[in-house]
Structure formats: structure tokens, C-alpha cells
A and B are shown apart, each in its own frame.
Chain A
Amino acid sequence: MLTKQQIRKAARLESQVGESRPGFLRDTACALEGPAGVHRSFASTSSNTVRKRVKRNGKTVKVSLAFEQDPETGERRTVRK
């Protein structure tokens, strides 16, 4: 269904992202913000921890996003702040 080249390229990406395994952490918030290893459940509402687990490296980009509802169309969307 794919060309040899496409298979190799997709396989390379899959080897980089790894395959998610049942029972293992899938919530990035845990990886980005401590306490490390504590699973933040889907229903969790607590998010006051800002201790960074990852070591900052080189250039940093600050990304500030918010939801907005267009007053004319009613469209809800993500916008840069």
C-alpha cells in the first residue's frame, strides 16, 4: 500500500516516537511537569506543579495559547496570545 521509501520513512518515525504500551504513561503533562512518574488521570483537575523535569536545552520558545469563540460565527478555536 506504501512505497518502499514511505515504509522506511514511517518506520523511522515510529522507532523515534516509540509505541505506546498499555499501562505506561501516555500523559505528557507528567513528563513535562513533575512530580515525575505520577500519573495525571484524564479527569484530573490539579495542575499547580510547575517543576520542570526536563533539562532546558538551547533555544526556548514561549507558547501561550487560549480558546476563543468567534463572536460572529460562534466558531471555537485555539488562538495565540
Chain B
Amino acid sequence: MKLANEYSFLNVEYCANGSPCHSVSILPTLKNVLPTWAVSTRVSPIFGIKGLGTASSSTLELRGDWFLTFLGPIHPERILECYQKKWKIWLTLGLFNLLVLNRDNEEKRKLLTWARDGNIECETWTIRNGEVLRVHVTNRKYKKSVSWRREVSKLYNARLAPELTQAVKDYCPVIATALARSEKLPEGLFSDLSDINQFIMDDLGNHDQQSEEGGPYPSLGQLLTIHAGLTRFTSQTFSGTSRIFETECHLRGHSLLGIGVPSIALAHLTEFIQSTLGAARLPERFAALGSVKTNVPDLCELKIREDFWTRDHLGEVELSDEGETSQVPLLSYFSARDGFKSTLTTISAPLSTISSCNSLRWSLLTITHELSHVLIRSILAELYPDLESERSISASLELLEKGTRGATLLEEIQRLLLITIVQIDNVSANRLEPLEIDSETIVILLEQWYREVQEILVHVFDFLYFYGGEIDKYVEGIWVSWGTIPNIKNRIREYVVRTVCTALVNHLERANAEEMARDQVVRCLRRLRKDGTGGAYVKRALKYVADHWEDEILPRVVARKDLVKIVRAFLFSATIATSVRKETTGLGGGEPSEKEGYTLKSGSLELKEISNPFHFLELFTKSKRPSAVESAWMLYVLAFCVNYNDS
């Protein structure tokens, strides 16, 4: 099954004659709809398929009698099991991802029988002269759960702090809608949403909101973050499900059928990382370095060529199954405003990726940076002292005393981090004299450099785990995606420093490591400038390196060098990275190695599986120009061909 090069729009609105009927038409462009756009107008893109009567986009006014059936979510090739000549078939981006148009009642009946036998949800419109006369829904059979309904009701009636009460009353209908609508989907989303709801219930129920420090506000913050993500997710994903007329999507270009397919695709990317890096329990492993008390060297003095820096410290940790091991899934959604952004419980991708993710500028690979932020935030919570605890601050001050060593490996890493932060600040202030640090100063230092420390750790972490240390790909990925963000030219200096720090991880043992990292970065940036893919920021970056390497960039990179060392030695594990990077199931059969590509062809949808969605993105996000059709194909592969459970 091959996607056509063109796409059309399915357009629905109330009939102009005032009757309660809807009129429906298929149009090659929205150009003709916009001048007569009505209050009830709803549209969605539909993608033609070569050989199935929809390869070219043209106006279809549906004169005479027709049946228009929406089915899904299913892999589109499955429709070939019952396909009849003369049917017209399109793909959509909604959970009803297949659209079948036919005229014969018997053929329609065959289609519905096939759908019922396969337990596929569908909705059929009987159309005469462009007006929808009847709507028939074939519901998918599924087990309706009582338990979550009981739990949400209990939460709604719970006695909570006043600020929480209203927030919970707003949250409950949203999660109830999300659970009710996801319950009848084939797999995945419902259990994730149930787990997220369980987290909210535990967070609100397990401790006394009034007596805790900060009152109810930390819980309120968590609740509002999840609520905001859930509202978008629910509207985007479950709009355009039965009955279509009653479930409108707020994204006007997708108001008829929603964006369920991109939502599933994004969820699969997130789930893959949760099942690999998440399952490796990196924060627990890192925290376990607090139990390593023997043979802990002085990390501030230990030379980089010592074997200790290249040992797989995380891989050596033996995790126990005691304590809490279940993880809260990240809730993913699209947002034009948030773009690529993560919190501890949610993750978003730009809305533009839906029509442009085939291009380097809008690559979904960028989401690995946000996923890295989630893990690094948790790891920083192990590294940073409790800034509101005198005892914890005092312990950090002691670690800064000359001659003091950490009692455990974790404490040594903490000590190295503290000294690194002081040096980053020294360089920033051009301070040459010793800095006197007390319990207030240390808090200011830790607060102020938290974001920068996090960014350096995230960049190196992302580079090692997701880009396999391939600097060309990494520099291209980050600089091309930064090119899409307006008004950030004042950040170019920090971006250059971060990029050189990232490249530095491959050269740590070498003399003049910083210059080698710089040269690699400059080479990559020059290539981007030559290709015309980097935009204005790349030119500025190159100029900044040329003008200010010695006086600004080099001292900043050297000051941050120990952060790079911390990631490579204590946050990276080659064993764990293998599970993230490897591809075990070839799309063309056989067992291709990590470096091999798929036999998959852009635009072709086949009933084959991929086990690593990021490997797929790496191979197929190549275009300079965004294409809605190519992007739809990629989202379809991510939504319907990913099976990482067998890997």
C-alpha cells in the first residue's frame, strides 16, 4: 500500500437549508471552504492511496447515494482483506484512521461484517446528494471497567485542602473522559492513563496536605501539570471518534477527526524509552552509588586516563526489587506553544511535527533531549543537597573543605559537582581570588547554576545514549532544530559552549581535547552553513567561535569539563545504551545490525514491525523540506508498526 503524493480535506457542516442534516464533501484544498466557512464547519486532511481510487486529489461532491465508513484504529493494509474494486480509500490522522467510500449496499454490508468480525470500531454515514441521512455505529467489544469509575468518584468526593478541591473537581471529568474513551481502544493508552490517575490519587491521598511543608501546593502543581497535558491529549486524541458529529477537536485543521494517529505515534516513542532506559532504573542505580564505600578515589585529583573513569559503574550496580519499582508513565501530547518540553510527568512535541516531522528541522528525534531531562532531573535530586535543610547544606559545605573526601562514591560525585559549580561561577565572574562560601552563598550558587548544570548533563547524556556518540548527527540535530526557534540569538553563546562540551566527551583522554572538540563542532557547523540547513544562528555560532574561543569559550568549557566526565563515568552505561540503540527486528526480515537500515520504503505501508522507533526516525528523517504526506507516513509507521515488546 503506497501513499499518494497528494492529500485532500473531508469537509462537514450543517446544511445551509436549516435542516439538522450535515453536508459532506471532499475537497482538494481548503481554499474554496474558507470564504464560506460556517460556525459548524469542520475539516480534516485525508491522504490518498495509490491504486485505491484516491491517488489524485479532486473535488467529490458525493451526488447520488453513497456510504462513507470510518474505521480504526487499524493498520491500513488490513483493509485489503476485504477490499473491493471501485471502493475509494483514504487514510486519516484520526483514531478512525481509514475512510472507505462505496455505493453498493451489499459491499457496505460486507465491509461492516468484516469490521465486526475483526472487532474494529466503525461509523457509517449514509449519504444522498452530499447530505448525511443516517449514521450507523458498530461498536468495538471491550470490557467495561467498574474500578476506575469507582476510584474517580471517590477522588471527586475526597476531603481535601480547599485549593485542591476545585482542581480535583476539574480534573475528574477530564480523566474520566480519557479513561472511558481509551478503554475501548485495542491496547496501551488505557493502562498508561490508569497509572497516571493512580499517581494523582496516591499523591493526593497518601499524605497530609496541610501539615506538609509547602501545604497543598506541590500536589496542586502536579495535578495542574497533568490536568493541562490531559486536556490537550484527550481533545487531540479522542476527537473524531463515535459519534463523530459530537466529538469536535479544537485544532481547527483537524476539527473533524482529531489527531489520534500522531498521538499514538508519540506515545510509542515515549513508551519505548520507558521500556528501555526507564526499565534500567538509572536514578535508582545512581543513588546506589551511595553504598559504594571502598576504593573510592579522589575524583577531583584522579587523572582522566585512570581506568576508574571508564568503568561501567551503573552497569555494576545490582538492583534489588524491594521498595517502589513501578513507574508513572509520561503523558505525551502536542502543543504549538510548548513545543518540545518536558515536566516530571508530561512531555510535549510541537504541533508542527504532525505535518513536518519528515524534515530535519522538525525531527521527532529531538524528543530524546526532553526525555533525557526527565531522567537527569531525578538524578540531580540525588546529587543536590536539600536546600531547605541546614544539615544537608552543612554537609555540602564540609565537602568543600580542603582535604575533605566523600565517604561514598556518590558523595565524591557530589563534591566534584560542588567544586565544578564554583569554578563555573568563577569563570562567569572572571573571579581569580578565592571565593568564601557559607550556607547562604552555597544555596545561591546551587540555585543559579542548576539549569546550566542540568543542560550540560542532558546534552552529553542525550548524545551518548541516543546518538551513539556520533557528533555529526548530533550537531546537525540540535542546531537545525534550534533554527526553528525565533528570538534566541542571545542564547547562541551558551549553545556553543554546550555543543563543545558535548563533543568533548569523545576526546576526554586526549591532549588538547577542547580544541579537538571545537574543531569537530566547527566542521559540522560549516557543513550546515554550506548546506543552507542551519539558518542564521549557525553563522553567528561560527563567528563566535572564531572571535572568542580563547577568552570566553575555552575557560567555560574547561570549567564544565567535570560535568562531562560525570555523565560518561557515572550516568552512562554501555550495556544499558545497547538496549536503547539496538535494532533486533528487520523490516525486510532477517536480523540487521545496529548500523543497517530497514528495507522499508518511504510512503509504503506494510504489515511489518520495527522494534526501535528511534532507529527508524534516524534513518528516515532526512528531508530538508517538510512534507505532510511523508510525515503522515512516518507517523503511521510509528503508530502501527512498532513492536518493542518482542525485542
Q: Is B221 part of the contact surface with A, judged by Cβ < 8 Å?
A: yes
Would you call A28 and B449 a contact (CB within 8 A)?
yes
Would you call B440 and A54 a contact (CB within 8 A)?
yes
The residues of B that contact A10 with a CB separation of less than 8 Å are 344, 377-378, 380-381
Cα(A66)–Cα(B422), bound, Å: 11
- The residue from B394, B441, B447, B448 contacting A16, defined by CB atoms under 8 A apart: B447
The distance from the CB of A6 to the nearest CB of chain B, in whole angstroms, is 5
Would you call A59 and B381 a contact (CB within 8 A)?
no
- The residue from A7, A65, A75 contacting B345, defined by CB atoms under 8 A apart: A7
Would you call B374 and A2 a contact (CB within 8 A)?
yes
Would you call A27 and B402 a contact (CB within 8 A)?
no
Would you call B400 and A57 a contact (CB within 8 A)?
no
Q: Is A4 part of the contact surface with B, judged by Cβ < 8 Å?
A: yes
Most B CB contacts (10 A, CB to CB) among A1, A8, A78 go to A1
- The residue from A28, A29, A56, A80 contacting B402, defined by CB atoms under 8 A apart: A80
Mask of B368-386 contacts with A, CB within 8 angstroms, 1/0? 0001001101101110101
The residues of B that contact A65 with a CB separation of less than 8 Å are 419, 422-423, 426
Q: Is B494 part of the contact surface with A, judged by Cβ < 8 Å?
A: yes
- Name B's interface SS: helix
Pick from B56-64, B166-174, B319-327 the stretch touching chain A: B319-327
Cα(A70)–Cα(B494), bound, Å: 27
For the complex, count residues of A whose C-beta is within 8 A of B: 57
The distance from the CB of A16 to the nearest CB of chain B, in whole angstroms, is 4
Would you call A7 and B222 a contact (CB within 8 A)?
yes
Would you call B328 and A3 a contact (CB within 8 A)?
yes
- The residue from B430, B449, B451, B513 contacting A46, defined by CB atoms under 8 A apart: B430
The distance from the CB of B342 to the nearest CB of chain A, in whole angstroms, is 9
The residues of A that contact B430 with a CB separation of less than 8 Å are 44-47
Q: Given the known inter-chain contacts A9-B378, A60-B438, please indicate yes or no for A17 contacting B450, CB distance below 8 A.
A: yes
Pick from B25-33, B111-119, B552-560 the stretch touching chain A: B552-560
Most B CB contacts (10 A, CB to CB) among A7, A28, A45, A64 go to A28
Would you call A29 and B429 a contact (CB within 8 A)?
yes
The distance from the CB of B467 to the nearest CB of chain A, in whole angstroms, is 19
Contacts of A13-61 to chain B: CB distance below 8 A: 13-18, 20, 26-29, 31-33, 40, 42-47, 50, 54-61
The distance from the CB of B275 to the nearest CB of chain A, in whole angstroms, is 10
Would you call B434 and A64 a contact (CB within 8 A)?
yes
Would you call B374 and A1 a contact (CB within 8 A)?
yes
Pick from B37-45, B98-106, B156-164, B298-306 the stretch touching chain A: B298-306
- The residue from B378, B431, B432, B511 contacting A75, defined by CB atoms under 8 A apart: B511
In the complex, which residue of chain B has the Cβ closest to the Cβ of A46? B430
Q: Is B248 part of the contact surface with A, judged by Cβ < 8 Å?
A: no
Cα(A6)–Cα(B381), bound, Å: 8
The distance from the CB of B249 to the nearest CB of chain A, in whole angstroms, is 27
The distance from the CB of A35 to the nearest CB of chain B, in whole angstroms, is 13
The distance from the CB of B561 to the nearest CB of chain A, in whole angstroms, is 6
Q: Is B536 part of the contact surface with A, judged by Cβ < 8 Å?
A: no
Would you call B439 and A63 a contact (CB within 8 A)?
no
The residues of A that contact B324 with a CB separation of less than 8 Å are 3-5
Q: Is B523 part of the contact surface with A, judged by Cβ < 8 Å?
A: no
The residues of A that contact B387 with a CB separation of less than 8 Å are 13, 16-17
Cα(A61)–Cα(B345), bound, Å: 38
Q: Given the known inter-chain contacts A1-B274, A3-B325, please indicate yes or no for A77 contacting B431, CB distance below 8 A.
A: no
Would you call B448 and A28 a contact (CB within 8 A)?
yes
In the complex, which residue of chain A has the Cβ closest to the Cβ of B559? A78
Cα(A75)–Cα(B508), bound, Å: 8
Q: Is B367 part of the contact surface with A, judged by Cβ < 8 Å?
A: no
Most A CB contacts (10 A, CB to CB) among B425, B493, B509 go to B425
Cα(A50)–Cα(B433), bound, Å: 10
The residues of A that contact B345 with a CB separation of less than 8 Å are 7
The residues of A that contact B214 with a CB separation of less than 8 Å are 15
Would you call A6 and B447 a contact (CB within 8 A)?
no
Would you call B561 and A77 a contact (CB within 8 A)?
yes
Cα(A74)–Cα(B81), bound, Å: 67
The residues of A that contact B597 with a CB separation of less than 8 Å are none
CB<8 Å pairs between A and B, sample of 17: A4-B202, A10-B377, A10-B381, A11-B221, A11-B344, A14-B344, A17-B451, A43-B493, A46-B430, A60-B437, A63-B422, A65-B426, A75-B305, A76-B513, A76-B561, A78-B558, A79-B300
Q: Which residues of B contact A (CB under 8 A)?
A: 199, 202-203, 214, 218, 221-222, 270, 273-274, 278, 283, 300-301, 303-305, 324-330, 344-345, 371, 374-375, 377-378, 380-382, 384, 386-388, 394, 397, 400-402, 419-420, 422-423, 425-426, 428-441, 444-452, 493-494, 509-514, 548, 551-552, 555, 558-559, 561-562
Q: Which 5 A-B pairs have the closest CB atoms?
A: A74-B511, A29-B429, A47-B430, A64-B434, A28-B448
Q: A7-B344, A28-B425 are in contact. List 4 more A-B contacts (CB 8 A).
A: A27-B428, A57-B440, A70-B303, A79-B301
